[in-house]
Chains A and B, each alone.
Chain A
């Protein structure tokens, strides 16, 4: 079975500061990793994905994440945040086989203050 742990339920930061949202996963097989963002009263939007290849992946809105297999982590980073980045961020994992269901972390609420 796979599981995802998002270590921080809330992260408050000031505008233009850097931010890191932490995600660790556990799985007995190779996995695929994703970060999704959810703005209030909206659906989930993909920020970035790791399927294979380069461990540093870049996504939309200036976000990037690094896959670290030895530490089973996939932390999300942004060098300078904006007020508009305020949202709930979800780390998710899937694996191959007969289905690719997503297992989500509990989410991290990023609040960017002026």
Chain B
């Protein structure tokens, strides 16, 4: 059973389009996260939700909008995609200080 699953795994699209990435966790964790990994492999937090409540929003352009319909799901919608949005987006989940579990990532390429 996949603990943290993201879809799609690959996303190739054109500048200006709108796209969504979905994430689901079956670990019963309270908190879910989105991280962005750039072309140099640097990982940075974008958002975090705890029990459907937004608790972290790290200076991300407002073209990015996370949504958490319940504590097992955290989706990421991106409007008006730009070349600089090309990256790997990782979803993760965790509880308290315990290690976070990561999905396999969504590789977003903007043409």
- Where the two chains meet, the residues of A that have a C-beta atom closer than 8 Å to any C-beta of B are 32, 34, 36, 38, 42-46, 49, 51, 88, 90, 94, 96, 98-104, 106-107
Contacts and interface: CB of A to CB of B under 8 A. Distances in A.
Does more than half of chain B's interface fall in helix, strand or loop, or is it mixed? strand
Given A43-B105, A99-B50, A99-B55, A106 B100 contact: no
Max chain A C-beta neighbours (<10 A), residue from B42, B58, B96, B100 = B100
B97 A51 contact: yes
A88 B41 contact: yes
A100 B102 contact: no
Given A101-B45, A102-B43, 18 more contacts: A32-B97, A38-B41, A43-B90, A43-B104, A43-B105, A44-B92, A45-B102, A46-B101, A98-B55, A99-B50, A99-B55, A100-B97, A100-B100, A102-B45, A102-B92, A104-B43, A107-B41, A107-B43
B100 A102 contact: yes
Does more than half of chain A's interface fall in helix, strand or loop, or is it mixed? strand
A61 B102 CA distance: 19
A42 B42 contact: no
Contact of B99 (A46, A96, A104, A107): A46
26 contacts: A32-B97, A36-B102, A42-B105, A43-B102, A43-B103, A43-B105, A44-B90, A44-B92, A51-B97, A88-B41, A94-B97, A98-B55, A99-B31, A100-B94, A100-B96, A100-B97, A101-B33, A101-B45, A101-B56, A102-B33, A102-B92, A104-B43, A104-B44, A106-B41, A107-B41, A107-B42
Interface residues of B, number: 28
- A-B pairs, 5 with minimum CB distance: A104-B43, A44-B102, A43-B104, A43-B102, A101-B45
Contacts of B92: 44, 102
B48 A99 contact: yes
Nearest to A48: B99
A90 B96 contact: no
Nearest to A102: B100
Nearest to B41: A107
